[in-house]
Chains A and B, each alone.
Chain A
Amino acid sequence: MKVERWQRVKEILGEALDRPFTERAAYLKEVCGEDTALRLEVESLLLADEDSGTFLTVPAIEASNAIGWRLGPYRTLEVVGQGGMGAVYRAVRDDDEFQQEVAIKLIRRGVNSEYVRSRFLYERQILAFLNHPNIARLLDGGTTEDGLPYFVMEFVQGQPIDDYCRTHACDLNERLELFLKACSAVEYAHRNLIVHRDLKPTNILITDDGTPKLLDFGIAKLLLPDHPHLAPAQTSLMMRALTPDYASPEQIRGEPVTTSTDVYSLGVLLYELLTGKKAHRFNTNTPGEIERVVCEVEPLRPSTLNRQLAGDLDQILAKAMEKDAVQRYPSVEQFSEDIRRYLSGQPVSARSHTMFYRVSKFVRRRKGVVLAAAAVLLTLLGGIAATTREARIAQRRFNDVRKLANALIVEHDAFAMIPGSTAQRGRLVQQALTFLDDLYRESGDDPQMQLELAVAYEKMGDVQGRADGPNLGRTGAAIASYRKSLALREALAKRGGGDQELSALYLRLGGALKVAGQFAQAIEYDKRALAIRERLAAAKPGDLTMVRNMAESYSSMAVGMTQIGDWDGTLLYRHKALAKYLELIAGGVHTAEDYNGLALSYMRMGTILTQQKHYEEAVQNLNRSMEVAREGLRDFGRNQPLRMTETAALRSLANLELERDRPEAAIEHFQRVNQIYQQMVAADPDEFRVSSMLASTHHRLGQAWLKKKDTVAAEREFAKGLQMRQRLAQRSPANAGAQGEVAESCAALGELYALRKDVTQAREWFNRARATLTQLESTGRANSASRAILTSVIDRLSAL
């Protein structure tokens, strides 16, 4: 064959290979025209390509040597990929009659340095955190005979997302839908504070049934600062592994990365999927050229490459691929939400630059802002206030701060479900609060603005003192924030809509009021929420979201009934809630919250039944509660609320054993519970609820020892409980329950001294308890438990 002829054949072949199968014939016909020999030549090469399978895709040495090793119980079949640190093998479990296919990633010996090794183990650790249908799952891990670590993953048979779209000739909507599924996996990782940092087509495989699977967390990073056992990324070394096409400007410059980096890479990927062209063109592969192109050159407007993209998609891609991280979508969720809005014909949120851009540039020049997850927001918040004061441009400042407050709230959501993050959230929120209050004063009657503010105050209240979530124990502040949100929301609801959000807010406010001991008000808000939800559910029969809302509302009512000692009401609403949760789980689509709701319902039924001395039935409910929580934990491994519920159910079981005079069993359970709470407190010392549970567990342990007449052990536990409870009560003066618990501890110590016949000491402790309880009672903040203690304290005092 002549050299010139081959160049021509190669050109046509290359173009044809880039097209879907179905379009190739037409293309050949068009480009070859009368030259039949040329067309036949290309066709024979296309056939060869189709038959070629994995020909030459595994490098020579590996190919000859990769088959048939045993790694633990697995046997390798072939090399299917290579990363920077090691190779990935297709393998089967040798001792398994089902011959399940797996992928095994094995560290590469030639580069088995301490750094690579720790990086490899870090990836394994990160994968262990992740459990999502669109992320290749970690199955197993181990070490070879000669000490090389490996891990075993789900084997994903699929095509890179770009190839898949090409060979399946996906249309625009199909491409977007596929992309959205991939985004959900990235969102999930972000919610677990994990940034992937290497999103590109070859790391998103699409299986034959069209399911995207996210792979290769080889250079991913955990955003939590307090995990010293997980090696931090060495940016300089990471750089070499990066693909410049998808790397963000901050990655190229070697700056710290946040979830925003993944937003950028996903943007580039979508750009390619929709335009069929690379976003960047590098003239050479020198670092200087790469930095210049990635950090400075704007890619061609997508619509110039594909007319269909004009308008919204142009805007969406531009916003995702902003060079400046702060200008991008604050989260993958908001990015994908905009795509969803586009698909359903709603207006998208992507908007063009504002004053904000220039201001933040100025701030960066002046202060050298470090782009680290929360730090960037805080620094910018401070910086903008200063610069805009100088500029005195009220309207613009308004928009900028609003944007930042919103960004902050998104970051806050990502932190919310991770244990150990409460104090960080508190700091973020405190700073945002100042800005929100400014905004509130200036907000006027812009409904969009008011809505954003309402959301912001609600989140603020959550962090300060949400009754059923991790919080800082600042109940009074939380109530104030919720009330601000409520004023805005009620005004908005008058204009129509927003009922669901309003009912959720009623419940939050109700929850905080219960903590503060203002039960009548709390129940009033719970009832308002329930009324709205009953109305909404009636309009949409069979809608699982409505069922979930009803369940939540019933549970909340039941808690209120318990607090005022209305046992019939409690049982009624508990039964209703339980029925709704069972309906939900039977409905098939579950969330961690559903499992938790069901587990909590069983637990509370158990505690009521314990109080009514139906012990056997109570034990059944409590065991069921733990089973449900554990079932949920299998699907949602790191879910803090589920773990809390599981532990609380065990604690209730311990209480029950104490109640029916089996102190040995009670002590055993309490000690186990104590261990768990101690671990949780160590992980997040600022979290209020766990500390409070730990204190109560010490108290209950004391009671159990007292039953066994071991006053020494009992005194030790009571004293620990009292000390912790006093600290907590100081931290949260508005928390009526916390005050009541201090009194409970005092009363218990009184009981102990009475048993030792030390009347003076006993009298002193009982009197301390009485003072606190009387004070609560006289301000109308005593709950049924506090009142019961007060009655018994008065009895004991008169008996001494």
Chain B
Amino acid sequence: MSAPDVTRLLLDWSQEGNRAALDALTPLVYDELRRLAGAYLRRERHDHTLQSTALVHEAYLKLIDQRNVQWQNRAHFFGVAAQMIRRILVDHARGHQAAKRGSGAAQLSLDEALGVPGQKRDVNLVALDDALAELEKLDPQQSRVIELRYFAGLSIEETAEVMSISPATVKREWSTARAWLFRELNRTDAQVPNDA
């Protein structure tokens, strides 16, 4: 599918609220992002400077007809891309977890031994994904802020632009959601939903 077609779909979705356009758009964006992200997930160190925002930009440049660009489209695109990156990373993490379980306890402890101690340890993406799903039920706006910031790598200001809310609001949503998620992920009784 050519760049003008993707642009058309994006316009249909963003300007006319055409849900079907989004459905048609999603796999295209997903495939491109997955292709680009593949290098990371295989940890090809030579590509170390590629980052999530760069990833999205690159996908955007590939997919969207540059002659017909409006910020509005770009904002929507970022929204879709953030969800896609979340999907890609979480699927990868689930696969990885399954593989670890398959290959026994020895490798698990080796992996853990290599981790950075203390607060800087890697985020458990699978648990985060679950917690985010809970958060989305409580407060969809907060879950989008986290998605855009953490998965698409957007700054406070960029997130505000994409969501058409003020940076102050983004900051507030971000800091409160972050506290909530941190608590959820660090519960000893993480399996028991809070106040259900």
Contacts and interface: CB of A to CB of B under 8 A. Distances in A.
The dominant DSSP class at the B interface is helix
A48 B180 contact: yes
A143 interface: no
B119 A53 contact: yes
Nearest to A56: B150
Contacts of B85: 60-61
B51 A46 contact: no
Contact of A61 (B52, B161, B180): B52
A45 B142 CA distance: 15
B122 interface: yes
Nearest to B167: A245
Contacts of A65: 40, 43, 48
A278 interface: yes
B49 A45 contact: no
Contacts of A244: 157
A106 B47 CA distance: 13
Contact of A52 (B46, B157, B179): B179
A49 B175 contact: yes
Contacts of B49: 86-87, 106-110, 148
B34 interface: no
A282 interface: yes
A634 to B, nearest CB: 34
Contact of A14 (B149, B153, B172): B172
Interface stretch (A5-13, A230-238, A496-504, A515-523): A5-13
A278 to B, nearest CB: 6
A59 B146 CA distance: 10
Contact of B116 (A48, A67, A69, A282): A67
Contacts of B180: 45, 48
Contacts of B181: 55-56
A109 B50 contact: yes
B153 A61 contact: yes
A63 B51 contact: no
Given A45-B180, A87-B49, A111 B57 contact: yes
Contacts of A86: 49
B108 interface: no
The dominant DSSP class at the A interface is mixed
Interface string A18-54: 0000000000000000000000000011101101111
A65 B43 CA distance: 7
Given A51-B182, A53-B120, A87-B49, A61 B175 contact: no
Nearest to B75: A285
Interface in B50-102: 50-55, 57-58, 85-86, 89
Contacts of A5: 195
B131 to A, nearest CB: 11
A278 B50 CA distance: 34
A350 B58 CA distance: 49
A56 B178 contact: yes
A108 B86 CA distance: 21
B110 interface: no
Given A3-B139, A56-B181, A69-B45, A62 B52 contact: yes
A291 interface: no
A10 B152 CA distance: 24
Interface in A85-105: 86-87
A48 B179 contact: yes
A7 B139 CA distance: 8
Nearest to A49: B179
Interface string B166-186: 111000100110111111001
A48 B186 contact: yes
B188 to A, nearest CB: 13
Contacts of B183: 44-45, 48
B178 A285 contact: no
Contacts of A106: 49
Contacts of A620: none
Nearest to A14: B172
A55 B57 contact: no
Contacts of B150: 56, 59-60
A78 interface: yes
B135 to A, nearest CB: 9
A798 interface: no
Contacts of B178: 49, 52, 55-56
A60 B123 contact: yes
Nearest to B180: A45
A355 B118 CA distance: 63
Interface string B133-167: 00001110010001001111101010011001011
A53 B116 CA distance: 14
A56 B48 contact: no
Nearest to A83: B155
A425 to B, nearest CB: 39
Given A13-B176, A17-B175, A55-B178, A109 B186 contact: no
A10 B139 contact: yes
A281 interface: yes
A772 B168 CA distance: 76
B127 interface: no
Contacts of B40: 61, 64-65
B194 interface: yes
Contacts of A281: 166
A59 B52 contact: yes
B22 interface: no
A284 interface: yes
Nearest to A48: B183
A792 interface: no
A46 B157 CA distance: 24
A146 interface: yes
B21 interface: no
Nearest to A107: B49
A545 interface: no
B24 to A, nearest CB: 26
A65 B120 CA distance: 13
B179 A60 contact: no
A59 B48 CA distance: 14
A146 B194 contact: no
B125 interface: yes
A2 B196 CA distance: 8
28 contacts: A1-B195, A3-B139, A10-B139, A45-B180, A49-B182, A52-B182, A53-B118, A53-B119, A54-B119, A55-B123, A56-B123, A56-B149, A59-B51, A60-B52, A60-B86, A60-B123, A60-B153, A61-B52, A61-B153, A64-B40, A66-B48, A108-B49, A108-B51, A110-B53, A111-B54, A281-B166, A282-B166, A285-B160
**Which 10 pairs of residues, A with B, have the shortest CB-CB distance?**
A110-B54, A53-B119, A59-B153, A48-B183, A109-B49, A49-B179, A52-B182, A1-B195, A61-B52, A14-B172
Given A56-B182, A59-B52, A281-B166, 6 more contacts: A2-B195, A49-B175, A49-B182, A59-B149, A64-B122, A110-B54
